[in-house]
Structure 1
């Protein structure tokens, strides 16, 4: 009788869907499933119904396991959107809607936290937890994966330190800030915290009946979706970076020490097996394409956009008001210089604008002294566009790797393998699973072609008071170095 093949289940609770992958240790995807998620947006408000996460997981996991050809599930891990939070009662039942990663109603509460000495941004989970407590009454702070894990195992788990980071958890001291009770969050409101990769429990029989995941399957503490995508890119050795281009843009890298940023736009996750994962999340991203060109064929538009290099318009294409990285500007709005000639030119300007923002992110990280000498990997939905990948490599003036599977769920499968002891380290687990399909090399002379619009954008951001002049000067110096004649 043939031995059952072991695989690991990765669960990604995204903005628009729940995605599940069943992956073997060598990166073979045995099964996949997805289920859509709704949401409510109204101005700065962005909520989801937490009950939809469980319904989506049940549908997606059954689809993934239904095509798995009888593989055994060695373990699972769950990632969620960073900064998404809700309140639950003592039995783990939701007391509030979930405030999503970009919900902007807690501005005053973010200011209160900063005055108390906690370096958070307004859209982080801690300000939103304060807002929820004032609005719905006292409850337990619960991150997106915490709720799903509680339904899988039958008890509300400790939070993983990756999701707890934006709730104010101090990763260097492994402790919650002492002033949280004075802000209105007493000890019962905050969860215990464990490092990602920790075993949290196992799938209960009732959860197995609902999801199709075998009862007794180990459940491993996960990480945020950005960190999950970083694992899925195998960018875990010092100096490696992953650029996740989805609705918004997230850059995450690996460093032996934290990258210090006095403005707080770069923050540091702790790697499950040591080291640091610095990064930042921008409000620029591929969401602007959906907003501006609903129903368009991206591949066809990419082909037309190739005739506009550079575009007649320069953009800083924010998906929503306010910017978080590479500079902090809560009042920033989408920037537009010049007039595009055609729809194709507008499409080109948006693609280029995202690439310019990505370059500025790397310029800022270099300004802070972050190690950037390792490989760069492109993941996220934007990485499905070969044209955009080439454009980004040209603007960045550096090669980029594109893995075959660019999904956070793959990263959670690798973390599950590590957490169950199937791999000696997380980097080894990820490198065994991740398959690099393409390496995109920058085309000679193309960086110089985009130098003038990039420099104009940097200057405009500085003029508006959003980008600090020292950062702008550093960006100009790096551009001069990248475009200098050999």
Structure 2
């Protein structure tokens, strides 16, 4: 059996999973932070407290995992001393005080707080479990300026000695020490495997890890991640590439559309009730680009982009339908962009994230995309880390085989041709191009793929 731990923004989740994907135990504990304007911080000590609570819940039946791996939010960093003890609050991934991402955030911490070692969220828990600092992984280090192709950090104005040693995800790092075993209940000697960011962990929990497979994670926002044999080159910098534990590459991008726009438009709505009414509006009377906040990052880069409606919805149900369909149309445009970049996009497609709780939305998205879609029983990042623990311990020599064995599929949703949504899709593409947000090559490619036989 294997343990996965997911350090999220809102809480920590831990699972214990068998070789064939049965979840034997799970636990969770909440996290809170400080938000004040652009400031978003958390207390690193709270991460450990929540981890202990979640892990003890997952192990309450006396399970003894052979190995564990940890994922956490991408871009969350702090400074620690030479023993791995935190010196500063944690600068969360969306803290707006530091310029940009990566090295800029590290420099900001050093200027504000003085000397220290750059530490990622998962690194801190790994240190507490092992009783000593261990290397970080290339997935968490990506947004700190690490280049997985070169195997080194890029040129940056950071003092020597502040950046961690980096290894590939899935590398065996060490073992759980006696002190941590006493606190958490994890047996001393349990293998610690280098983890990944939460987005990559969710991809491992989606099942197919063959080249050409894609996972669409839809919650507050939309994230698409896939598997390629080589890094996906994107001159616009919209798509980024993580190194997979097995040597393949995991390109992906994150859009601002998603459930956040639905909550903003209908703060007191009953989603299930509105879903039931939305089926009468296919296609809806308006075409939506459902951004919840200013700015778009994928499938195009437009910092000033805002959500919009083309047309006037005839009712609340029609408006709801337009938002659901709008997210699916953007998802389709994301796949068109990946195809334009030369990515193989015809492999298995999996849906995970909170949106899969809506059977109607899942069916709608499959039709708009014209693709058969797989929905796992459990698409949680913690499960993905259990898969990685099995692989990194050496018990599962092929990562894809481990994922296929441990990820159970709840349902397969057939896709339609999407013909009913061709006109709304082209209207959205034309409007995005007219506003100057959508590059002409992508607009032309989307139109070609839509009209191709």
Given the two structures, how large is their TM-score scaled by the length of structure 1? 0.89
| 1:87 maps to 2:74 | no
Q: Distance in 1 between matches of 2:305 and 2:83?
A: 41
Moved more, 260-269 or 301-310: 301-310
Question: In 2 relative to 1, CA 341–164 (structure 1 residues): closer, same or farther, beyond 3 Å?
Answer: same
* Map of 2:117 onto structure 1: 140
* Map of 1:152 onto structure 2: 129
Contact 2:7–2:47 at 8 Å: present in 1 too? Answer: yes
* Map of 2:152 onto structure 1: 175
Aligned pairs (5 A) from 1:357-436: 357-436=330-409
User: 1:473 is matched with which residue: 444, 447, 452?
Assistant: 444
| 1:280 maps to 2:253 | yes
Q: Map Cα deviations across residues 23-43 of structure 1 (whole Å, 9 max, x no partner).
A: 001000001111122233444
User: 1:62 is matched with which residue: 56, 64, 69?
Assistant: 56
* Map of 1:460 onto structure 2: 431
The alpha-carbon deviation at position 389 of structure 1 amounts to 0.8
Q: Distance in 2 between matches of 1:99 and 1:91?
A: 20
Q: Distance in 1 between matches of 2:349 and 2:129?
A: 35
Moved more, 295-304 or 266-275: 295-304
Q: Secondary structure at the match of 1:364?
A: helix
| 1:327 maps to 2:321 | no
Contact 1:251–1:281 at 8 Å: present in 2 too? Answer: yes
Aligned pairs (5 A) from 1:164-243: 164-177=141-154, 179-180=155-156, 183=157, 185-243=158-216
Contact 1:235–1:254 at 8 Å: present in 2 too? Answer: no
* Map of 2:277 onto structure 1: 304
The alpha-carbon deviation at position 236 of structure 1 amounts to 1.2
Q: Secondary structure at the match of 1:73?
A: coil
* Map of 1:32 onto structure 2: 26
Contact 2:368–2:416 at 8 Å: present in 1 too? Answer: no
Q: Secondary structure at the match of 1:11?
A: strand
| 1:8 maps to 2:41 | no
Question: In 2 relative to 1, CA 472–220 (structure 1 residues): closer, same or farther, beyond 3 Å?
Answer: same
Q: Secondary structure at the match of 1:57?
A: helix
Q: Distance in 2 between matches of 1:290 and 1:152?
A: 38
Contact 1:84–1:125 at 8 Å: present in 2 too? Answer: no
Q: Distance in 2 between matches of 1:82 and 1:52?
A: 18
User: 1:21 is matched with which residue: 15, 18, 33?
Assistant: 15
The alpha-carbon deviation at position 96 of structure 1 amounts to 2.9
Structure 1 runs of 4+ aligned residues shifted over 6 Å read none
Contact 2:64–2:186 at 8 Å: present in 1 too? Answer: no
Question: In 2 relative to 1, CA 306–432 (structure 1 residues): closer, same or farther, beyond 3 Å?
Answer: same
Aligned pairs (5 A) from 1:114-133: 122=100, 124-133=101-110
Q: Secondary structure at the match of 1:439?
A: strand
The alpha-carbon deviation at position 457 of structure 1 amounts to 1.6
Q: Map Cα deviations across residues 93-138 of structure 1 (whole Å, 9 max, x no partner).
A: 33333233333333xx3xxxxxxxxxxxx3x333322222232233
User: 1:340 is matched with which residue: 309, 313, 327?
Assistant: 313
Question: In 2 relative to 1, CA 44–387 (structure 1 residues): closer, same or farther, beyond 3 Å?
Answer: farther
Question: In 2 relative to 1, CA 385–76 (structure 1 residues): closer, same or farther, beyond 3 Å?
Answer: same
Q: Distance in 2 between matches of 1:126 and 1:451?
A: 43
Q: Distance in 1 between matches of 2:450 and 2:96?
A: 34
Contact 1:235–1:253 at 8 Å: present in 2 too? Answer: no
Aligned residues: 453
The alpha-carbon deviation at position 278 of structure 1 amounts to 1.1
Gaps in structure 1 of 5+ consecutive residues: 1-6, 110-121
* Map of 1:104 onto structure 2: 96
Question: In 2 relative to 1, CA 480–296 (structure 1 residues): closer, same or farther, beyond 3 Å?
Answer: same
Q: Distance in 2 between matches of 1:264 and 1:101?
A: 18
* Map of 2:68 onto structure 1: 76
Question: In 2 relative to 1, CA 325–428 (structure 1 residues): closer, same or farther, beyond 3 Å?
Answer: same
Q: Map Cα deviations across residues 291-317 of structure 1 (whole Å, 9 max, x no partner).
A: 443454332221122222222332222
Question: In 2 relative to 1, CA 314–210 (structure 1 residues): closer, same or farther, beyond 3 Å?
Answer: farther
Aligned pairs (5 A) from 1:245-264: 245-264=218-237
* Map of 2:140 onto structure 1: 163
Question: In 2 relative to 1, CA 151–168 (structure 1 residues): closer, same or farther, beyond 3 Å?
Answer: same
Gaps in structure 2 of 5+ consecutive residues: none
Question: In 2 relative to 1, CA 43–359 (structure 1 residues): closer, same or farther, beyond 3 Å?
Answer: farther
Q: Secondary structure at the match of 1:188?
A: coil
Q: Secondary structure at the match of 1:378?
A: strand
